[in-house]
Amino acid sequence: METAENPGTYVKDGQEFSRDMRYIPSRITKDGRDGYPVEAGRYRLVAARACPWANRAVIVRRLLGLEDAISLGLCGPTHDARSWTFDLDPGGVDPVLGIERIQDAYFARFPDYERGITVPVIVDVPTGQVVTNDFPTMTLDFSSEWTEHHRDGAPDLYPDAHKDELDEVMDLVFRDVNNGVYRCGFAGTQESYEKAYDRLFARLDWLSERLTNQRYLVGDTITEADVRLFTTLVRFDAVYHGHFKCNRNKLTEMPVLWAYTRDLFQTPGFGDTIDFDQIKDHYYIVHSEINPTQIVPKGPDLTNWLSAHNREHLGGRPFGDGTPPPPVRASEAVPALM
């Protein structure tokens, strides 16, 4: 089954959307038990600004200060039925991997690879082979296995004291929100669409209530749970409200979640990874089954992302005992909101 971040037919008539979660399970660990030891400079994270699952990895890499340890390659926002492409790079070739399509890294390790060609993906640069595309484990490993290469002041995004609660909250957010918007957008029946729609907004209401009196999802600092929720909410009005028919409310009409998302957007490491033009181009051009004209909406207005969120009164320490990441590198900067 194709997923939203790999090529293929997304809407299956008469069927409920089901995400294929069979990702490549190899892990990069301190002990190298899968054959891939933590080693600065050896691996390349390949992502796309458009993709919310890849956006997670880009944010966590930046918050932890892993830029020197793990290089970043970026695919363009649109692709054909074969694979994500490096059309943002000169000549359409990734300057480190020397390939035009990320599928080449998959096939270098698995010549008969039949599942989705997804991002984010980590590639072993010396061999040019994919290591893993297991996005939920990838970011947790950035926190736990790459500690030797974290920047001074890096936050603890997966603190031991809150792991059980984090796992529970992240599971609910994934099922009903992160994947829920896709279950709406790629529903093949009216019944499956309405079921997903109801679950999505019931969970958003639950999150609104949870965040009314606390600044972050779990504890009083930013954690992995906030990263995972943010990448869906930041795309909500630009894409999911209209394109995926998640139209009970816009994010801007849900006061608590709108303020929460702006709070994160204005936090170093979050908003400075977001390119709204690439996000819209991907969804409205690639998903031609949903949007056959491939016309990309001109809106929404983005200037309100920088308006005051007024959530400081809830307390909380965004980075705990740590510090904000330094300014984003020029080579990885996104267009600034005017």
The DSSP string of 38-51 is --TTSEEEEEETT-
Q: Which of 51, 75, 184, 246 is catalytic?
A: 51
- What gap in Å lies between CA 50 and CA 104, rounded to an integer? 20
Does 53 belong to an annotated binding site?
no
- Amino acid identity of residue 310, one-letter, is N
Domain ranges of the chain: 162-332
- Confirm whether 51 is a catalytic residue: yes
- What gap in Å lies between CA 180 and CA 296, rounded to an integer? 23
Tell me the whole-structure pTM to 2 decimals.
0.95
φ, ψ dihedrals at 206, nearest 5°: -60, -40
Task: Find all residues with CB under 8 Å of 193, minimum gap 6, and list them.
Answer: 184, 187, 245
Q: To which residue do tokens 């691996």 refer?
A: 43
Instruction: Match domain 162-332 to its CATH number in 1.20.1050.10, 3.40.449.10, 3.30.365.10, 2.40.30.170.
Output: 1.20.1050.10
Q: What is the pLDDT of residue 261?
A: 98
Q: What is the pLDDT of residue 136?
A: 97
Could you tell me which of 266, 207, 261, 203 has the C-alpha nearest to residue 237?
261
- What gap in Å lies between CA 100 and CA 6, rounded to an integer? 16
Q: What is the pLDDT of residue 2?
A: 36
Beta bridge partners of 47: 74
Which strands, in side-by-side order, build the sheet including 129-132? 70-75, 43-48, 121-124, 129-132
Q: Which of 106, 158, 182, 283 is catalytic?
A: 182
- What gap in Å lies between CA 36 and CA 182, rounded to an integer? 32
- What gap in Å lies between CA 103 and CA 335, rounded to an integer? 28
Neighbours of 126 (CB within 10 A): 9
Tokens of 274: 């977001």
Element (H, E) at 130: strand 129-132
- What gap in Å lies between CA 164 and CA 317, rounded to an integer? 21
- Confirm whether 182 is a catalytic residue: yes
Reduced DSSP (H G I as helix, E B as strand, rest coil) percent helix, strand, coil of the chain, to 5: 40, 5, 55
Q: What is the pLDDT of residue 3?
A: 42
Task: Find all residues with CB under 8 Å of 30, minimum gap 6, and list them.
Answer: 37, 38, 145, 148
Mean pLDDT by 10 residues, the chain (338 residues): 44 71 94 98 98 98 98 96 93 98 98 94 98 98 98 98 98 98 97 98 98 98 98 98 98 98 98 98 96 97 96 96 97 90
- What gap in Å lies between CA 182 and CA 55, rounded to an integer? 16
Tokens of 248: 């009970």
Tokens of 83: 């694979």
